[in-house]
Amino acid sequence: MEAYERLIRYIGIDTVSDEESETTPSTPCQFDLSRALEREMREMGLQDVYLDDHAYVYGKIPATAGLENAAKIGFIAHLDTVTTGKNGPAQYRMVPDYDGGPVALGDSGLTLDPATFPHLKNMVGETLITTDGTMVLGADDKAGIAEILTMCEHLLQSDRPHGPISVCFTPDEEIGHGAALLDLERFGAELAYTADGSAVGEIEYETFNAASAKWEIEGVSVHPGSAKDVMINAARVATEIDHLLPANERPRDTEGYQGFYHLTDLAGDVSHAKVQYIIRDHDSARFEERKEIMRGVEKTINARYGAQVAKVTITDQYRNMRQVIEEHPEVVEAARAAIRGVGLEPVSNPIRGGTDGAQLSFRGLPCPNLGTGGYSFHGPYEHISAQQMDKAVRVLEGIVDWFAKR
């Protein structure tokens, strides 16, 4: 089966995660995909296939004769997709032999236009898979799952020499919990790769340091006609919090290694309001400064309105994995060799985000991230090419070859 055919099967299963949930997986629908993958992996011939109580799916391919002592390599992708205004099984469209022009996304009125997405000019003649303009496609990260299992199928159906291979598919990556309960002993790898990036040819091993900041604001609601020196409008206090943060340090105004504060949710009324931010920075010292700035805003608000008005809870999510990866240069060297093997030049840019690999690296499993061939994730313009997925599969196979030869 081709990788894109697997992707189409998987995106027909809703796996949206829920940041407000306190369970793992955060949504029961993620089990629908993990159970389907468990069956597929068993039927394909993977060994030690195991689905745990938290929707993590494990499997292994034993080494071929003579390579039992080769490096134990793992491959990881995540089950869940982001929450959008419309959730459910993804609605997609196929565009065979893409001609390089604008592509209408169903009846949504949105258009995938090369004027906005210039990389499309490199996809002429390929088969595009796009959304219908109403929701995400789910290639983040069902494309990674499809590519890993296609690679596994190729290994199992050939006599290609390889060392021990482990795979795992995880829940809740999109809400920062994907690697938290991954059983490293069961997984059994010495080093690993997440297939969760964008363009094929990417090898990413620098992530943000990341934290969430959740605000609870308690207002005082009285009749506006007698509100003088009494009313505290919680909704308005929420907007004041945002204005107290550095105005030019938002996602819209930053790039590269520049960090930011990102307002993700704001809801409330006069009596009560909730505000949520994410805090990001590649530099660990600057990251700590950002958290202190957020706490300083809390002090300013409470000095202005009263000690019990605003409370912020800051929770670390993941750290920049570069310091771990630099201690294991072979994991990057292998990926770069595999990328060159498919005719591309490796690209290593700092990730303006994070992956499961960031947490796993700090748990002792060096784990950079590889591109899957998808673009414009987390929105209705998400798209991927069948041919780029094939190339991503070849990169995974090239990594296996590199360690087998080593």
Residue 356 makes CB contacts below 8 A (sequence gap 6+) with: 76, 78, 170, 173, 178, 179, 182, 194, 196, 367
Supply the angle between the helices 329-341 and 386-405 in degrees, to the nearest 10: 130
What DSSP state is assigned to residue 268?
E
Q: Are 81 and 74 in contact (CB under 8 A)?
A: no
Tokens describing residue 222 = 């009285």
Q: How far apart are CA 6 and CA 388, in angstroms?
A: 14
What DSSP state is assigned to residue 136?
-
Q: What are the C-alpha distances in Å from 117 to residues 126, 237, 350?
A: 16, 38, 20
Q: Are 74 and 183 in contact (CB under 8 A)?
A: no
Q: How far apart are CA 253 and CA 233, in angstroms?
A: 29
Supply the angle between the helices 386-405 and 139-156 in degrees, to the nearest 10: 50
Is 80 a residue of the active site?
yes
Is 242 a residue of the active site?
no
Q: How far apart are CA 168 and CA 48, in angstroms?
A: 11
Nearest to 317 by CA among 194, 192, 204, 175: 175
Residue 296 makes CB contacts below 8 A (sequence gap 6+) with: none
Q: Are 15 and 172 in contact (CB under 8 A)?
A: no
The active-site residue, picked from 18, 38, 80, 132, is 80
Q: How far apart are CA 289 and CA 272, in angstroms?
A: 28
The active-site residue, picked from 141, 173, 298, 390, is 173
Query: With the C-alpha atoms ordered 175, 277, 373, 95, is the resulting torsion angle positive or negative?
Result: positive
Within its chain, how far is the Cα of 75 from the centroid? 15
Q: How far apart are CA 57 and CA 152, in angstroms?
A: 15
Catalytic residues: 80, 173
